[in-house]
Amino acid sequence: MSIIQARLQPRIYLASQSPRRRELLKQIGVNFELLLLRSDPRRNIEVDETPYADEDPERYVRRVCQAKAQAGFDALKMRNLPPFPVLAADTTVTLDGKIFGKPENAEHAAVMLRQLSGREHQVFSAVAISFKEHLEVALSTSTVRFAMLDEERIRRYLLTSEYTDKAGGYGIQGHAGAFIEHLSGSYSGVMGLPLFETVQLLKHFNYPAP
């Protein structure tokens, strides 16, 4: 492919550091470039992911996802980069209405896993695209049932360090996939980027998605 052809290819920016989201976009053949917000010295483009008081999980994940997409497009303009749509995503785990964010350490992850053990929980995964004055968001909701986890099984899982930077302290695509007795919803949504909803949004922005 020539340089001119590469420039003419439709593409988007991904405002996420998640290797899982990169993998999923590659899986469906989306041409993207990374747009890392936290690497920018102008700290005002960071997104505060702290839940508001009494904010329900669905509203929370939508709000944060939209904020990430908007911050991404704002960063694009600041850096004078070529204008293409900016895609952002956010995923949260919730049990009994409580938001499970990313664990602070192994002990925090263990607390989360004990609460999820033997129970059903919900995973909300939002995806948003921002381009010029246009911003859209879509939400995927999945229900996941965990097997009973004894302390030894939790201990062994924590040794893998897979809990790091993952909502609820687990990743479905890794060792924790063996914890899941049943999934109703989107596997890719639980992984971090709901592909069906992503493709629908891309089409709204005239990206030739599969």
Residue 180 lies inside a defined structural domain of this protein:
yes
**pTM score, two decimals?**
0.89
From the candidates 40, 48, 90, 150, give the one annotated as an active-site residue: 90
Residue 1 is predicted with a pLDDT of 39
Residue 160 lies inside a defined structural domain of this protein:
yes
Residue 189 backbone phi and psi in degrees, to 5: -65, -45
Residue 178 lies inside a defined structural domain of this protein:
yes
Residue 196 lies inside a defined structural domain of this protein:
yes
Residue 38 is predicted with a pLDDT of 60
Answer yes or no: are the C-beta atoms of 93 and 141 closer than 8 Å.
no
Residue 15 lies inside a defined structural domain of this protein:
yes
**Number of domains comprising the chain:** 1
Residue 2 is predicted with a pLDDT of 39
CA–CA–CA angle 175, 21, 95 (5° rounding): 60
Instruction: Find the domain containing 124 and state its range.
Output: 3-204
Residue 210 lies inside a defined structural domain of this protein:
no
Residue 209 lies inside a defined structural domain of this protein:
no
What CATH number is attached to the domain comprising 60? 3.90.950.10
Tell me the average confidence (pLDDT) per consecutive run of 10 residues in the chain, 210 residues long.
51 93 95 78 65 92 96 91 94 95 95 98 98 96 98 97 94 96 98 96 88
Residue 119 lies inside a defined structural domain of this protein:
yes
Question: Does residue 90 carry a catalytic annotation?
Answer: yes
Residue 45 is predicted with a pLDDT of 56
Residue 147 is predicted with a pLDDT of 98
